[in-house]
Amino acid sequence: MRSLVRNVFWRMKGVQVYALVGKSGTGKSFRSALIMEKYNISHMIDDGLLIRKDKIIAGRSAKREDAYLAAVKTAIFADREHREEVVTALKKESVKNILLLGTSDKMIYRITQALDLPNPVRIIRIEEIATEDEIQTAMHHRKTHGRHVIPVPSIEVKQNYPKIMADSFKILFTGGLPLARRNKVFEKTVVRPAFSSKGTVSISEAALGQMVFHCVAEFAPELHVQKVSIRLEKSGYRLNVSLRVPFGTQLAGTIHQLHRYIVENLEKFTGIIIEELHIKVDTVMTNPKNSGNPR
């Protein structure tokens, strides 16, 4: 219902959402100007910030966070105060088209839900506007130098986040490029987030598996996890959970609620994106006290 209401609200205002999706470090912020030029977009959501053309309007940058997981939560507006600030600013602004930047479709939809925006009219992949060599070069630069791009002039970053300021540069997109409508110079700012200089943060499959076991035990102690398999892909984590359940368990409601509980808690407490979670009932026990007597 909420999704329908927000889509109707923004549709009445004539607002359209576009999205640029690409893995972290592939150059989304660097190339966002191309998309904004082509579709005449005035506003953008990038890493927790609401940006109008070259000015930061509201929000806070994920790149100012001290920890990687905190940065992820900021980017998807997990904090209520942060979220409400940007939602209020969006309603005050004369927004017609807005561009959202994200590492996966799931992240884009998380942002639209958080900010009460309609679903995108088009999702553009970074591969559509950058060559494989350009993407690999951008990722190598991110990995070796730990530098990120904020798509606003340096004066904006100096005023708001002087501690992470590293450098600035200007780029010229010419009319010969497929998305650019005319020659134009854009200024971008290079920053070095605190979390990028303190090593990396990763979550092992074993740790995620333990969290799944904990979620199931907390939500429905009568259910037993037999197996958890985890696969990390570019778009996020994909999990398969096998359960052993007592005979007579009302599965329809319980399993769906458990599915939501696991996803919400994993994303909330780790900051990762759960792209898919499949729950399978492998065994039904005729006697819950005797796990060796399946039906």
Name which residue leads in pLDDT, 201 or 29: 29
- CA nearest to 22, candidates 180, 169, 130, 178: 130
Q: Choose the CATH number for 205-285 among 3.30.428.10, 3.30.70.1350, 1.10.150.240, 3.30.360.10.
A: 3.30.70.1350
Domain boundaries 2-197, corresponding CATH code: 3.40.50
Q: What is the pTM of this model?
A: 0.58
More confident residue, 163 or 107: 107
CA distance 287 to 280: 20
Q: Does the pLDDT at position 286 exceed 80?
A: no
Residue 66: DSSP 8-state: S
- 54-75 tens-digit pLDDT: 788 899 887 666 666 777 888 8
Q: Is the pLDDT of residue 172 over 50?
A: no
The pLDDT value recorded for residue 274 is 83
pLDDT of residue 190: 44
Please state, in angstroms and as integers, the Cα–Cα distance from residue 209 to each residue in 163, 229, 235, 269, 294, following that order: 37, 8, 19, 14, 24
Burial classification of residue 33, based on how many CB atoms lie within 10 Å of its CB (0-12 exposed, 13-18 middle, 19 or more buried): buried
Over 50: is that where the pLDDT of 171 sits? no
Domain boundaries in the chain? Answer: 2-197, 205-285
**Which amino acid would we find at residue 213?**
F
Helices (H) and strands (E) in the chain, counts: 9, 12
